[in-house]
Structure formats: C-alpha cells, structure tokens
Structure 1
Amino acid sequence: MGGLAWLTPRKRSATARSVLAGEAAAEAARKTEHEHESEFPTPGDTRAAAFFDLDNTVMQGAALFHFGRGLYKRRFFRTRDLTRFAWQQACFRIAGSENPEHMEDVRSSALSIVKGHRVAELMRIGEEIYDEYMADRIWPGTRALAQAHLDAGQKVWLVTAAPVETATIIARRLGLTGALGTVAESVDGVYTGRLVGEPLHGPAKAEAVRALAAAEDLDLDRCAAYSDSANDIPMLSLVGYPYAINPDNRLRVHARENGWRLRDYRTGRKAARVGIPAAAGVGAVAGGTVALVALQRRRR
C-alpha cells in the first residue's frame, strides 16, 4: 500500500479495485490460454503481443447487448430488461463511445440475470449466442490487423469489460490467443452475482495488461494495443505501438496530438462525422499489410 499512500482513501480504494480486477483478469486469461495451448500455437517473438479492445474495435456494438439479446430469447429475463439493454446499445451506437454510467447499469443488470446459474451453462449458451448475434458483426479490417500479429508470431489478446467467459468465446472463435475480461465471482461453478474487483474498464484494463505482461515476460515497448475509446488511453499509453480504431472524438484528438496511428472501418458517413477519411482503413487486406510491415520494421 506504500506506493498508494499519497492518494485519498476514495482514490486509493478505486485504484486497489482496478488492480484486483486486472490481476483477476490476467489470471483467468492465462489459465484459459494454457488449457487451449495446442489450439493456439504462437511461435515467434515471445516478448511481443497485441491487445485489442472488443466493443466497436473488433466488433460492431457492445458484446453485453448481444449477449443480453441471446439470454432474452432463452427467457432469462423480462421484456423491460431487454428494453434497457436496447437503450444502452442505441446510446452506444449514436455516441460512438462508452458512457461509464450506462455501461455500469448494463453490467449490473447482467450480474443479476446470471446469479445462481452455472458457469458451464452460460459458456454453452454463449457459444450459441456468438453464432446468432456476433459472428457477422466482426470488423474485417480489425480482424486482419489481429491476424497480421498472429502471422508475425505474436500472441493476440482481447481486453474488454465484457465477461471473461464471453470474451474467451469470441477470442477462440477468431483464433486469438485469449481474452482479458471482467471476472464474475463463482463458487463451486455457480455465479454469486458479484464481481472480483470491478469491471475491466479504463484503468483496470491497463492493470490487466500490465499483470499479464509481467506473468508472460512481455516487453510492453514491443507490444501494440488497439481501441476505439478514450476510456482506454491508460491501456494504449502502456505499449510502444498504440492504435486508435474507429475512434471516438476524444481519442481521435488525443491520438493525433500524440502521433498515434488511426484506422477507421465504419461507413463513409460515420467516418466523415468524426473527421476521418472513409478510405482510411476500409480494406482489410491493406490494413493487415500495414500492420505486418510495421512489425517487420520493428525487428530490424
């Protein structure tokens, strides 16, 4: 606690929760990685990796909303709860960025919905929901960037506030190394309705990446990170190669001020609204090629 002594009690408590959430996410991610080690071989540069935010970076919209739709279809909750999920998704799509209060409300609703259910049951359902609502919403350009890292022999991780189980399913389906996500507490394989630490959001994402890098002996200066949201500036600032993908206005400004790379895979109209040329990154192959060239240059 000595290093946090200068903080106020409230800030110290929030920082401690972020650290706890990050360490829990890193531990869960490494456990999943080793369970599927033969499934995701990653030869090559073992000290470099790439970290991808999920919502609106890898996938259009919020994973929690799509997961909620799937649970509603299976009668996990009532129509008014789905309406709240839909409202949060509408706000997310219109604003193009995460509102912490809205996201917290969605997460609280999700925790109450899964309380008392078995982890294995939600994992099975999550596989079905991915096929129903998520598979067609992956941004091809971002997917190509992730593949470029894999082709260069680097590990690729999702880093998201979505439940780690959902994030792990998406990572596995995309052939990525694994996922860092919000860890919901479970006892004897049953959800308690509580979190371990706090949602993996903002500073907690940075703590998760830092913890994973230490455990995996990664050199963060050789790593890359990708996100659409200014909330992820702490994570992006950790690595040597930060990318703003489909950025919100705050992140776009910050990226330009700091010389970070930008890519936009949204429609021309949406890209124009945030001031980025529509042709900035619509080609998946071109995006992957740019990333691969950058990686090769770093090795020289």
Structure 2
Amino acid sequence: MAAPRKDPKPLHRRSTLAGEASRAVSELEAALATPERADSAAFFDVDNTIMQGASIFHLAWGLYQRKFFTTREIAGAVWKQTYFRLVGVEDPEHIAEARNSALAFIAGHTVAELRAVGQEIFEERMADRIWPGTKALAQMHRDQGQRVWLVTAAPQEIADVIAARLGLTGAMGTQVESVDGVYTGRLVGDLLHGPEKAVAVAALAEAEGLDLSQCSAYSDSYNDLPMLSMVGDACAINPDHRLRAHARAQGWRIRDYRTGRKAARAGLLTGAVGGAVAGAVTAGIALRGRRH
C-alpha cells in the first residue's frame, strides 16, 4: 500500500516562516557588527506593523467585555461608520466630530484604571498578535544601543503598556485630557495619525539630539509616509498596496510577515472590517460619554 501523500501546505508554511526567521537572524547579526550611534533611533508604527490588527479595536473589545459600555450604545453607530468607510465621504464636520469623540469611551474613568486594565487586555488580546519578525527588528535596534519608540494613534497609556512589554524605550500615543486623574474624554491636540506622527518624531528628535538621517522608521500604511520619508532608513512592514509600490520605487526595505496570498487577503479584509467596527465602537461609546 502506498504511503499517504503529505499535504504540501504545512511544509510550505514552515518553509516560509523559516525563511523569515533566517532573514531576521541575518539582519540581527549584521546589526551587531555595526557601531552604536547615540544620535540614532528607530520608530515603529503599531497597528499591523508591530501587532496584527488594530490596537484600539483590541482595547475597545476588552473594555466592552468589562462592561464599560453596552451593545445598545453602539448599534446605531455601526451603520454610520460602515457607510462612512465604504462611501468615503470626508466632510470636515464629520471628521471634526470623529476626532473629538474618538476616545470618549474612557471619559469618567481614571488614568490608573486604564493602565491596569490595559495590562490585562495586552495579555488577553495583544501578546499573541505581536509579529515575531517585527519584534526581532525592534530588538535588533535595541541590541545596537539605539532607542526604539512606538508611534501610534492608540491612547498614550496603552502605547506605554505595549512598549514596556516589548522592552522598548517608550511610546508616543494620542493624549487624552484628564483632570485630577480622571479622563474627560477630550483629546489634547490631535490624534497621532498620519502627518501628526511626523510632527511628534521631529519634536522628539530635536529634544533628544537625534540625526533623522541616521534613524529608521517602520510602518504598514501609506498614511505614515510623512514619518517614513523623514528618516534615512525606511522599511515597509506588511505594507498596503500603495506603500508597497512607493517602497519599491524608493528602494526601501520591504518585510511581509503574512504568509501566502490567502493571509494577505485576510489581512485586507480584517483591516477594513476591523476599522469599521473599531470606529463604530468608539463612536458608540462617545454617546455614553455625552450622556454622563
């Protein structure tokens, strides 16, 4: 009797992962041979760069499980956010409202409470979603003696948790106003998104004496092009199609830790649906904030 034929898919997957691991090791070995520079650092986006999926979605889901808000409070917002994303209408009034309510779901809660809950949610929903390849790249910079910063639209307190758990220098996240240790739900400045990331990196570079031409930046999104373009070493991680094309044209490094076409399609679908749901969740919680 002939031996049963082995399914080549698991072997292909193992081969792909082994290749990515080998590449990460090679990059690490090369980095260890590079002299340390006190004026250089690395900046990493979080969502789909360091972590699979949107950190704000994982946070909102964890808070929902802890009864921070109810499904009834977000039901009406689901359709509005989904319609907005599918149709792509970007009127200034809608954008302003989204900005002002984006993190209203933590209004009335204390800073200490969010930090504590954030630790729990990281273990429950985020730790297993860290991309090993990107984590290795961040560690490569740390082994070079460089500072490594996360730059994300997630609340500062959650960004701090992720950075600490990964052993990084620190994080720059969206600032939410608090009075006497209690969140008001209003933002301090803008969401740390797109061009705002470049502004934050430039300010940090000036304060820390960094030479941006000697710095590195990593992201999955074309929206982060301002941050990627301001450093001497840019790398596209799990890039969307526009960033991939731009990175190829510029000769930037590209690293894709997703496996196969199926995973890539799943990533696109997850990003679209997850973004809509996360937007619906935050908008729905904003209703709760306005009622209290």
> TM-score w.r.t. structure 2 length?
0.70
Deviation per CA, 1:231-282, whole angstroms, max 9, x where unpaired? 00000001000000000011111111111110100121256669xxxxxxxx
In structure 2, C-alpha distance between the alignment counterparts of 1:207 and 1:213, rounded to whole Å: 10
Matches within 5 A, 1:156-235: 156-235=148-227
- Alignment of 1:58 with 2:50, yes or no, is yes
Code of the residue aligned with 1:170 in structure 2: it is I
Identity, % of aligned positions: 65
- Runs of 4+ off more than 3 Å: 80-91, 99-110, 270-274
* Larger relative contact order (Cα-Cα within 8 Å, sequence gap ≥ 6): 2
What amino acid maps onto 1:252 in structure 2? R
Q: Deviations over 1:126-181 (max 9, x none)?
A: 00110110000000000000000001110100000111111110000000000011
In structure 2, C-alpha distance between the alignment counterparts of 1:267 and 1:52, rounded to whole Å:
21
Change (3 A) 1:108 1:59: farther
Take 1:131 and 1:158, find their aligned partners in 2: how far apart are those partners? Answer: 18
Is the alpha carbon distance of 1:83 and 1:213 closer, same or farther for their aligned partners in structure 2, counting shifts above 3 Å? farther
Residues 154, 174 of structure 2: 8 Å contact kept: yes
| Distance (whole Å) between structure 1 residues aligned to residue 162 and residue 79 of structure 2 | 24
Q: Which amino acid aligns with 1:136?
A: D
Alignment counterpart, residue 146 of structure 2, candidates 145, 154, 172? 154
Amino acid at match of 2:58: H
Which residue of structure 2 lines up, in the alignment, with residue 49 of structure 1? Answer: 41
Across the two proteins, how many residue pairs are aligned to each other?
227
Correspondence 1:257 to 2:265: no
Counterpart CA distance in 2 for 1:74 and 1:173 is 22
Using the alignment, how far apart are the partners of 2:222 and 2:132 within structure 1? 22
Measure, in 2, the Cα distance between the counterparts of 1:90 and 1:58: 26
CA contact (8 A) 1:264 1:271 kept: no
TM-score for both structures, normalised by structure 1: 0.68
- C-alpha spacing 1:264/1:186, structure 2 compared with 1 (3 Å): same
Specify every segment of 5 or more residues in structure 2 that has no aligned partner in the other structure, as ranges.
1-34, 267-292
CA distance in 1, matches of 2:77, 2:36: 42
Deviation of the 1:114 alpha carbon: 0.8
- Aligned counterparts of 2:215 and 2:146: Cα–Cα separation in 1: 9
Alpha-carbon distance, 1:111 to partner: 2.2
